[in-house]
Structure 1
Amino acid sequence: MAAAALFCVLLMFLSVLQHGVLGYTRSDFPRDFVFGSATSAYQYEGAAAEDGRMPSIWDTFAHAGKMKDKTAGDVAADGYHKYEGDVELMAETGLEAYRFSISWSRLIPNGRGAVNQEGLKYYNNVIDELVKQGIRAHVMLYHMDLPQALEDEYDGWLSPRIVEDFTAYADVCFREFGDRVLHWTTLAEPNVVALASYDTGELAPGRCSDPFGRTKCTVGNSSVEPYVAAHNMLLTHAAVVRLYREKYQALQKGIVGINVLCLWSNPLTNSTADLQAAQRYRDFVYGWILNPLVFGDYPQIMKKNVGSRLPSFNKVQTELVKGAIDFIGINHYYSLYVNDVPLAEGARDFIADRSVCYRAYKTDPPTGQNDPTQYPSDPQGLQLLLEYLKDTYGYFPIYVQENGKYSFLYRKGSTNDSLDDTDRVDYIKDYIEGVLNAIRNGVNVRGYFVWSFMDLFELLSGPSGDQTRYGLYRVDFDDDARPRRARRSARWYSDFLMNKQEPVLIARQ
């Protein structure tokens, strides 16, 4: 028996020498590091008009036919009715944490006022199930689903009135759930919301203006509104952090962070112009959100390029915003090659102000078009990003809150419904190694979450579209029962988390 085990070890060692592979296990990560998976309310819950829930801007946007396949999240993955079985499935998978969002319009249907007791009961039940199974709850307060009532009343994120209403909503969440929740994220991808909701019009509420919008918008101003919306999101986040620190943190011992989409940018060439363009991309995309929260103001290049269209922080606001962050949450899927383009004259929007073109492949002529069929796997890009965040913003805890939209799943003409997602397993293996390498280089990464735990209603398409199959578990949207079936990636992730396998081997070319 001992001889056989020794022989297996010898074979593995010879394989490492022959193929140039590296190995890691769950045990190679710090003891307090957490592995999990994630969903979001509108994409997962369904039950859009049940038990007192009122419409969000995504209900309105989808039902107006703004989705690519004219679907809506009325049922989605039916998580509202199936959460108990789903949490049990998480436990069987070995998840250590689950990141989910709360639907503001389910908890406080009109955005302010009375709490919906059925909504309160639902989220208490979800959290209690997680606690019972030993799974840590990581809660996102807002995942792009503003109550429609507030959009109708004062245009939502375009009004400073949102600060008070969102803070009151957050107060309810902290009060009701904070005894069991230690990790709070205020906003999902405010940089994406500002750009895609108020510049290109691709996401709810779909505001834009000619010639910048990628959809037909009836209202909006692409030159100004993205910056106004982001500014109000930052003030809102800061107000919520102050509330938690002053009223809840001493007793509950939790932390509050923000989530930002962060794609790594490589210069297309080694020219000074392209090197500056790669940095400008980082400043405009994630510096837009993180610089104010760490340093108290927007990046200088944004102030220069955007000018008077960029809102400014007064002294009181600067004091509120600066330091209003306990951790950084990032969503990361791929890297880009970036090159410089001249700063355009005349009418401006966020994309023009950024003054870069980007593509995934260095050999392709950059067009500036967002063509996800071209995005390759680049785990080193995640490592470089994490190291950049540490070097730029300090030793904050960082959570990779979404990773796993493997680029193969974007290919047109396929629903990517296969259970045998071998390529995605390789993708996840590689990116987890990128996280481990960053940790070994001194980055304070505390967690990694696969997006998503199961197939969801996709905000860019809908459950029957081409871009929906990101789940560890397949959901059959054609079946009213919405059955779940494990993909190969779910089985691999489970084995990895439970240390049921030999060290993960990463092939080197």
Structure 2
Amino acid sequence: MQRRLMMLFLWFGLLNLVAADEYNRNDFPPEFVFGASTSAYQVEGAALQDGRTPSIYDTFAHQSRNGTLNPDVACDQYHKYKEDVQLMAETGLDAYRFSISWSRLIPNGRGSINPKGLKYYNNLINELIKHGIKPHVTLLHTDVPQVLEDEYEGFLNRRIIEDFTAYVDVCFREFGDRVRYWTTLNEPNIFAFGGYDIGNFPPGRCSPPFGNCSRGNSTTEPYIAAHLLLLAHGSAVRLYKDKYQAKQLGFVGINLLCYHFSPITNTREHIIATRRTYDFLIGWFMHPLTYGDYPEIMKKNAGRKIPIFTEKESKLVKGSFDFIGINYYSVMETNDYSIGLSKYPRDFFADIGVEWKYSDPSVLPDEFMFPNEPWGLERVLEYFKDVYQNPLIFIHENGQVAKHSTATNDQFRVEYIQSHIGSLLNAVRNGSDTRGYFVWSLMDVYELLYGFKSTFGLYHVDFNSPNLTRQPKLSQKWYSGFLKGKNTTTYVEKKKVEDDVMGRSSI
């Protein structure tokens, strides 16, 4: 152990000696994919047109509103998809990650297919391919059909597994001849605790003293929802592998929001708390997917609240992915709060036994931006390599938020994206099996926590214009130049050597 720590000190120390590193797109492997992301409700608009019915995302957005503009219009990509695909081609994207609206394709959640919804997604996919852009499709990005939530409470009821599997069967059958990359679920870890513990995400369920919602149970529902999300994912993957993969030659995975968790100080209790946080926020899904069961610390702290995998369920979930999608934005410092484990009742967060520097962005000042901490992305990828057998990974989301304005000189976003791509290159060179990077987001979109007040786009969207005019920002011009082979210089911030070594050696 002593020798290993000395080697780590030396390795991290050498990294810190190099502040600037010139690289370009050609330094990545030839098959590496660069793209940009959006999701259906955030970009499509036409929420009440051509047979589409509401989702829990619609319901939640109308309750919270986050400003006066109408989220049902969003960017109107439903009508402007050809224009937007042209922007993608001009930028030089290899791929576009988007999601399918379940309630646009199958308005009743099950049963009949909406021909206009089917036509739209066929048109979008064909337009992408026409311009040489690979479609990467997410099957569920938060927007469960509201009709299923009303009928049986969505992901709190096992009936959702059958309905979700039937829905994805339609997608695989209708689009799989042209789509090779499928993601079953976007951020199910955040969907489970945000939607069923805190209540700040759809479907907005929580209970006192953990939140102020009209319904829900914060102590049990996050665990139930996560379990059913895993089983629905496993069922969808089994269907694809049994029925479609041999013919369509595609890949199917799942997506998680990942922070790098760093101990607030290098004391033993904070380091152990950091390990717990990784197990609860990432291991919650990655342990079952890799090893067939929840982490031991989760089972210990949650007790009877956490469902038990049957042998059949464990086999269904274990190994049920070809790739893992990661959404990464920032580092989160963890502070041990083990004393909280003696309190009752406890929600999901209290079961972790930590406090961390985390703020709800929906109540932050308009000038809020994520700290530019690219080294955190590298640490997350190292963690997946070391703990979860180095899975094939796509960075599905990475980007910088800022107050929405008419200004297009977003140098801060250039620096953020530039440095994170540089850090990603370091991870790839150090053995991470990461094969793609997608900026969030292609354009300014309706954001769940921010509404239209703060955005991430490479393209500015004028939401006050009837034409919803798109205009390239400085970040789009930089990214386009990078994708077309221009050199770039990045400064990758390094955390103090002592913190990195102590944190890495303990997790």
TM-score, normalising length: structure 1: 0.90
Q: Which residue does the alignment assign to 1:229? A: 225
Q: Which residue does the alignment assign to 1:475? A: 461
AA partner of residue 276 (structure 2)? R
Does 2:475 correspond to 1:489? Answer: yes
Matches within 5 A, 1:63-74: 63=62, 65-69=63-67, 72-74=70-72
Contact kept in structure 1, 2:419 and 2:490, CA below 8 Å: no
Q: Percent identity?
A: 54
Q: Which residue does the alignment assign to 1:188? A: 186
Q: 2: distance between equivalents of 1:257 and 1:483?
A: 34
Contact kept in structure 1, 2:20 and 2:489, CA below 8 Å: no
Does 2:73 correspond to 1:84? Answer: no
Matches within 5 A, 1:100-115: 100-115=98-113
Q: Which residue does the alignment assign to 2:383? A: 388
Where structure 2 has 5 or more consecutive residues not aligned to the other structure, the ranges are 1-16, 495-507
Q: Which residue does the alignment assign to 1:340? A: 336
Q: Cα offset for 1:460?
A: 1.1
Q: Cα offset for 1:417?
A: 3.9
Q: Cα offset for 1:347?
A: 0.5
Q: 2: distance between equivalents of 1:503 and 1:201?
A: 42
Matches within 5 A, 1:38-49: 38-49=37-48
Q: Cα offset for 1:48?
A: 0.5
1:283-330 CA-partner distances (Å, limit 9, x unpaired): 110110111011000011110100000011111101111111111101
Q: 1: distance between equivalents of 2:255 and 2:428?
A: 20
Q: 1: distance between equivalents of 2:66 and 2:204?
A: 13
1:72-91 CA-partner distances (Å, limit 9, x unpaired): 42100000000001001100
Where structure 1 has 5 or more consecutive residues not aligned to the other structure, the ranges are 1-17, 360-367
AA partner of residue 38 (structure 1)? S
Does 2:259 correspond to 1:268? Answer: no
Q: 2: distance between equivalents of 1:507 and 1:247?
A: 45
Q: Cα offset for 1:504?
A: 3.1
In structure 2, the CA distance between the partners of 1:396 and 1:19, relative to structure 1 (3 Å rule), is closer
Q: 2: distance between equivalents of 1:460 and 1:394?
A: 33
Q: 1: distance between equivalents of 2:43 and 2:206?
A: 27
Q: 2: distance between equivalents of 1:507 and 1:380?
A: 7
SS in 2 for 1:248: helix
Q: Which residue does the alignment assign to 1:444? A: 433
Q: Cα offset for 1:405?
A: 2.5
Q: Which residue does the alignment assign to 1:502? A: 487
RMSD: 1.6
In structure 2, the CA distance between the partners of 1:62 and 1:507, relative to structure 1 (3 Å rule), is closer
Q: Cα offset for 1:416?
A: 4.3
Q: Which residue does the alignment assign to 2:92? A: 94
Contact kept in structure 2, 1:23 and 1:506, CA below 8 Å: no
Q: Which residue does the alignment assign to 2:51? A: 52
Q: 2: distance between equivalents of 1:101 and 1:283?
A: 28
1:404-462 CA-partner distances (Å, limit 9, x unpaired): 024xx2xxxx4344200001101101000111000010000000000000000111132
Matches within 5 A, 1:171-210: 171-210=169-208
Q: Which residue does the alignment assign to 2:21? A: 22
Q: 1: distance between equivalents of 2:214 and 2:244?
A: 42
301, 321, 325: which one aligns with 2:321: 325
286, 293, 307: which one aligns with 1:297: 293
Q: 2: distance between equivalents of 1:32 and 1:282?
A: 30
Q: Which residue does the alignment assign to 2:168? A: 170
After superposing the two structures, state which structure 1 stretch, 333-342 or 114-123, moved more: 333-342
In structure 2, the CA distance between the partners of 1:333 and 1:417, relative to structure 1 (3 Å rule), is farther
Q: Which residue does the alignment assign to 1:351? A: 349
Q: 1: distance between equivalents of 2:303 and 2:91?
A: 50
In structure 2, the CA distance between the partners of 1:58 and 1:71, relative to structure 1 (3 Å rule), is farther
Contact kept in structure 2, 1:344 and 1:352, CA below 8 Å: no
Q: Which residue does the alignment assign to 2:240? A: 244
Aligned length, in residue pairs:
471
AA partner of residue 56 (structure 1)? S
Q: 1: distance between equivalents of 2:309 and 2:118?
A: 35
AA partner of residue 190 (structure 1)? P
Q: Which residue does the alignment assign to 1:316? A: 312
In structure 2, the CA distance between the partners of 1:505 and 1:70, relative to structure 1 (3 Å rule), is closer
Q: 2: distance between equivalents of 1:163 and 1:400?
A: 27
